[in-house]
Amino acid sequence: MFKQYINNTKILSLAFLRDKETVFYVLVLPLLFMLIFGSLYGNGDGRRQDRVLLYFEDTATISQSEIEEVIDANQSLSYRYIDSIEEGEQLLRDYEAETLLRVSGDGLEFSYNPARIQDNPAIEQQSMAIARELDIRRSGLETYLQTEIIDTGNLAGSSQFLSLFPGLIALGLASSGLFVIVELFIYHKEKGVLKRMAASPLSRNSFTFALISSRMPASLLSTALILISSRYIFDVSFNINWFLFIPYIIIGTVIMMGLGALITLFATTADSGFQAANILLTVMIFFSGIYFPIEFLPSYFQQVSRFLPLTYLARGLQQIMGVSQLNPANLAIETGGLLVLSIVLIMIVSKKSSWIAD
């Protein structure tokens, strides 16, 4: 049985490499999305953008040193001076900065890029913190609560920019696992391949385990490509919990295979199965928090996201990669529940479904 498992794994792995459409979805599509959305959120050329642009009018009564001290107190902020408002507005439009601070008289005026709807709430909070701290210092008031900012690594950029990469890894896992069950148990059944397998001494358990194993190299390769590209194209690195990360990649692939198995139970033809898988993947891409936070969706779409496995995979990867706070209990419950359900669905399809076309 072990020899059958090894041989089947090799055959199925080679079959993946010959399937150009699946290779595109698993390896190429996440990279294309990374280049498009990474350029949009992160300035695209690998340079850390200035977060604050400073422009002082001649009437300013606030000194440059006062502003600098306040901004320097927040280690997550960087700044530079500009010569004109027009220059600053152009830099905002080009995503070269997050906010423009104009100092005139004894007042502050902050400008934002309205297109950055994901980042502007956080930028507005930081702007208000600058104004509040400046008021405290100029009024001679004492600050009773001391804030300490801890550098947790090279996680430059906005939270949405950082969340993009775990989401793209989750997308690669979804593409790797979702289509394989549909392809093997519907398309190959229609072509008579499974019928010939059923007539051979091949064990269904051996075939199922080989099917699962055959997609693991693709998932790991897709993950590696995203991590390498994020490091060398966008200069972003992550504090990855490697003890959890590698097993989670494997588990995530199995979970998405379970979703493919669910489609197989209802699809009657290969065409309908592939169409259902493509539609479901498209829905998950836009409603699972990969490209923009789920909180920005209308309430009814937020409810939809709760039923999409990709939502939980993306959130789990964000925690494991250090983008968000790790919650071991929730991670174990969500992942464990999805894994058990997926294994049950895969085994149902493997053992109960007919290998002979109707």
DSSP strands (E only) in the chain? 50-56, 79-81, 97-104, 107-112
Who has greater pLDDT, 240 or 200? 240
Alpha-carbon distance 45 to 94, whole Å? Answer: 12
Alpha-carbon distance 263 to 274, whole Å? Answer: 9
- For residues 264-291, give the mean pLDDT: 84
**pLDDT of residue 159 exceeding 80:** no
Return the SS3 of 217. helix
- For residues 280-302, give the mean pLDDT: 81
- Name all domains of the chain by residue range, CATH numbers in brackets: 2-42+156-352 (no CATH), 50-139 (3.40.190)
- Give phi and psi for 145, each to the nearest 5: -105, 125
- Give the mean pLDDT of the chain: 79
**pLDDT of residue 49 exceeding 60:** no
- For residues 301-324, give the mean pLDDT: 90
- Give phi and psi for 108, each to the nearest 5: -120, 140
CA-to-CA dists, residue 30 to 90, 229, 256, angstroms: 30, 11, 16
**pLDDT of residue 121 exceeding 80:** no
**pLDDT of residue 192 exceeding 50:** yes
Q: What is the DSSP string of 96-135?
A: SEEEEEEEETTEEEEEE-TT-TTTHHHHHHHHHHHHHHHH
Of 193, 185, 252, 244, nearest in space to 218 by CA: 252
Query: pLDDT (tens digit, 9 = 90+) per residue, 68-98?
Result: 888 777 656 778 888 888 888 888 887 778 8
The per-residue pLDDT for 45 is 43
- Give phi and psi for 52, each to the nearest 5: -130, 130
